[in-house]
Structure 1
Amino acid sequence: MKSKLEETKFLKFLADTWPPKEIIKFGSWTIRTSDGAGKRASAISLDGIWEESSFKELKTLLQKMNKSEIFLIYQSDSLIEKELEKLNYQIFDQSFIFEIAVEELIKNKPPPVSMFSIWPPLQIQRELWGSNGIGEQRQAVMNRVIQSKTSILGRWKDNPVASAFVAKSGDVAFLHALVVDKNFRQQGVGKALMQHAGQWAYSHNCKKLMVVTTAANTAANNLYTSLEFQLVNKYHYRIPKANI
């Protein structure tokens, strides 16, 4: 694995390109709320040192808020990881962070008239997302982004078959919500879309393109490694066992 991406930088990239509806600072804790927009925009992270008393106060607040306990664990050797393990919080969605230099990604171009940068997304893109588990709440996350952003529509054999979202944070472009119609997978659609994302990133003065995927998503992992993305870190979530 390449030199590790610092946690503070990663969380800044997420805040800029996949922002929660609200961020609440509670002592050393950062609480994200997003009304059903998934763990990435709803997780809780610890910004300082683990303290049992602070954790108990946090749990009380979460109960009052009626908010689920979803903890983002960036360093598997951290104290919060060990303490949540003792409390029987289970690992969920082990995830990989990949990056590639934009200049490397755009050495090869996608087929002409196959990929299009569009904002706001077309209805067909919203339907593609919706049928692949990215519903209205997650799509609302895209609308909240105030940085430079775009959606990408992929057309293949005259069919709209893929969609993704890309946004900028500093000199990094971050791609989220990549979906390809199940009838058009294993045909090079994902590769072409990523190359187009690289072109968008280049035109917006980004040096790197980053993505996140779960360890279980073998198709996405295979795509990124085939394009020579580098694994720069891992993270996972911890949630109460009863919630799994």
Structure 2
Amino acid sequence: MNPDWAAVVDGTWPAAGYQTQGPFRLRQGQGGGSRVSAANRTGDVTSADIDAAESAMQAMGQKRIFCLRPGDEALDAMLAQRGYDILDPVNIYSCLAQQLTDIPIPRVTVFNIWEPLAIMREIWAQGGIGPERIAIMYRAPGPKTGLLLRHSDQPAGTGFVAIHEGIAMVHALEILPDHRRKGLGQWAMRAAAFWALDNGAQTLSVICTKANEGANGLYHSLGMKIVGEYHYRQRA
């Protein structure tokens, strides 16, 4: 099995709209960040194609931003020559969901809740995940759920999980600063794995920026493997 990870990302964290512009797929992000705003290559690209994609993105009122995946090296070089800067290189991790269900979740540590409670929205907001990104969660066709984490009888974190074609992907995992380094990230991923299996997904996955050493360490410690990567190039 070699999943189309780009399709998994789009299926679990969808843009508001999609548009074909020559050899590019454009995304309408509505303020939801790079993942739902970046264009990606679907065929061979010329300089004129990039010009047209840039114009279309600007017509949407969006920044000029492209998502580069393995195989996009020629486009990457073309964008670099145009003065595009690299932004947010990321790793995609995955594992069999069953791999993370060997330990029971401690009682009242993680709750599966959809729609998000006010406290979940507040925690996300503290981490910079505002209404535009919560709107993305509502757009995801599902199955989907929110995770509410608790520690010392207090709300401590939240996250979002959705499924696309048998693969569950975790997004927007946010732990409050006072509750970090207490194992909540592990319990969140384990709870996501139990939920995934209950909802027909055999694989659990997550996206993480390469610069986030703590999160990368967490996923490595859980035995998850890097199965893909990509980065953005953005022009001011």
User: Considering the TM-score relative to the shorter chain, is it more than 0.5?
Assistant: yes
1:186 is matched with which residue? 181
1:89 is matched with which residue? 84
Given the alignment, which residue of 143, 150, 156 partners 2:145? 150
CA distance in 1, matches of 2:223, 2:145: 23
Deviates more, 1:100-109 or 1:121-130: 100-109
| Shift in Å, 1:194 | 0.8
Once the two structures are superposed, the pairs formed by residues 49-88 of structure 1 within 5 Å of their partners are 49-75=44-70, 78-88=73-83
Identical aligned pairs, as a percentage?
Answer: 32
Q: Is the 8 A contact 1:102 1:201 kept in 2?
A: yes
1:212 is matched with which residue? 207
What amino acid is the match of 2:135?
A
1:30 is matched with which residue? 25
CA distance in 2, matches of 1:202, 1:188: 22
| Shift in Å, 1:142 | 0.2
- Residues 1:77 and 1:120: Cα distance change in structure 2 (over 3 Å): closer
RMSD between aligned residues: 1.4
Deviates more, 1:57-66 or 1:168-177: 57-66
TM-score, normalised on structure 2?
A: 0.96
Q: Is the 8 A contact 2:34 2:65 kept in 1?
A: yes
TM-score, normalised on structure 1?
A: 0.93
| Shift in Å, 1:156 | 1.1
| Deviation per residue, 1:210-235 (Å, 9 max, x gap) | 10010111111111111111011211
2:130 is matched with which residue? 135
- Residues 1:31 and 1:125: Cα distance change in structure 2 (over 3 Å): same
Structure 2, unmatched stretches of 5+, are none
Q: Does 1:232 align with 2:230?
A: no
Q: Is the 8 A contact 1:164 1:176 kept in 2?
A: yes
| Shift in Å, 1:61 | 2.5
